[in-house]
Structure 1
Amino acid sequence: MRNYEVVFVIRPDLEAEATTAVVEKFTQLITDQGGQVTRVDQWGKKRMAYEVRKYREGYYVLVEFKGTPAVAQELERVLKISDDVIRYLITRLEEEAS
């Protein structure tokens, strides 16, 4: 399994419970696809450098996980069609040298 991290920005106008539900939805998706979530870091609401989909700020979340490329592809597919996510970026982390 490879190491990945995903940073996604959630709409700022969601309630706290809805924001938590969105984060849970994506972490659950990773585990359902056979991946393993290693870290979830909620950075909170931050101002963006420029307007994205008419929003000037967003709720930032970083998730590190281990999984196959299929897990990352499915996560990207769901992030792409989610109305609650403004932006996202999935990157593959370098393997640790042994």
Structure 2
Amino acid sequence: MALYEHVFLARQDMSAQQVDALVEQYKGVIEANGGKVGRIENWGLKSLTYRINKNRKAHYALMDIDAPAPAVHEMERQMRINEDVLRYMTIAVEKHEEGPSAMMQKRDRDDRPRRDGDDRPPRREFGDRPPRRDGDFQRAPRPFTPREA
């Protein structure tokens, strides 16, 4: 049997319980056709980059599948018929990832490695100007002289 990662997007007006029922329905389709479903992750309601069928958001779900190709084709056929599924994508993989997927790992901005080590420049406050790049030369402001009429 082949290994697959399958992600699908469900409509935004569905509840989390309805999305779970949808996942269980497709898990049943895979198992009825001789396959197994490993990890299942619900990524939650996320914004879409562009609207799909008048939806601005969608519920994302990931399934790790170990099944023959006809089982996956049957699941995709049923997803095409179902109006609650906006998009889906199935990818064949060499092996399934261990642990949580990249979408489930919370990354903070401060967790990223810095390019130049631990020397972080001081944070600029509102109204601060960056240092000039042309050395110490700064032009003096012009004196104010009232215009004669």
Q: Distance in 2 between matches of 1:76 and 1:15?
A: 22
Q: Which residue does the alignment assign to 2:88? A: 88
How much does 1:89 deviate?
0.4
Normalising by structure 2, what TM-score?
A: 0.61
Q: Which residue does the alignment assign to 2:43? A: 43
Q: Distance in 1 between matches of 2:16 and 2:27?
A: 17
Greater RCO, 1 or 2 (C-alpha within 8 Å, sep 6+) = 1
**How many residues matched?**
96
Q: Which residue does the alignment assign to 1:13? A: 13
Normalising by structure 1, what TM-score?
A: 0.91
Equivalent runs, 1:26-37 vs 2, <5 Å = 26-37=26-37
Compare CA radii of gyration and give the structure with the larger one. Answer: 2
Q: Over the residues paired in the alignment, what is the CA RMSD in angstroms?
A: 1.3
Percent of matched pairs sharing the same residue: 34
Structure that is richer in helix per residue: 1
How much does 1:95 deviate?
5.1
Partner SS state of residue 74, structure 1: helix
Q: Distance in 1 between matches of 2:93 and 2:75?
A: 16
Moved over 2 A (4+): none
1:38-86 Cα distance to aligned partner (Å, 9 max, x none): 1101100000111001101000000011011111111110111111101
Q: Give the gaps of 5 or more residues in structure 2.
A: 97-149
